[in-house]
Amino acid sequence: MELERYKVKIRDETHDYEFYSEGPKGVIKKIVRFKRYPEKGSKIYNLTFGDQVDGTDEFDVLTVSNNNDWQKILATVAEIILLFIKENPNAVIHTMGSTQARTRLYQMCITKYWEAISCHFEMKGLYADVWEFFKKGRNYTEFLLKRK
């Protein structure tokens, strides 16, 4: 599965990654952040990403860039997950969309590439307030991912 992706920069000393979306709306800096849950000894990291806010280290998870490159963006985020897992092999990644529509988009992409994902990762979804192993056809609200 070779998808077109953007070049990724890893920020030193943090769990932040950045790349630039390019399209009809111009060049837009994206930031992907992995933040460890505060419980002592936790191996769970929350993954969030969005558009950089005016030269700061902050980003907006609700912005809709409409740069006509969402597939390339999601492929780049998938590559970043692989880079993060390589450096943190025991990590469990938690994520969800910032809106229901984005969560649904993420789920559609997971389903589309499920064969490749399931070979290397164990994935769970939150369905009716219960974590279960990912099943195609379910509408999940959150996801957990860890290396097999």
The pTM assigned to this predicted structure is: 0.90
Residue 64, pLDDT score:
86
Judged by DSSP in three states, 10 sits in strand
26 vs 64: CA distance, rounded Å? 13
CB 4 within 8 A of CB 21: no
Q: Give the chain's largest Cα–Cα span.
A: 45
Domain boundaries, the chain: 9-147
Q: Which two tokens stand for residue 145?
A: 């991912």
Q: What is the pLDDT of residue 15?
A: 85
With bands split at pLDDT 50, 70 and 90, how would you rate the model's confidence at 103?
very high
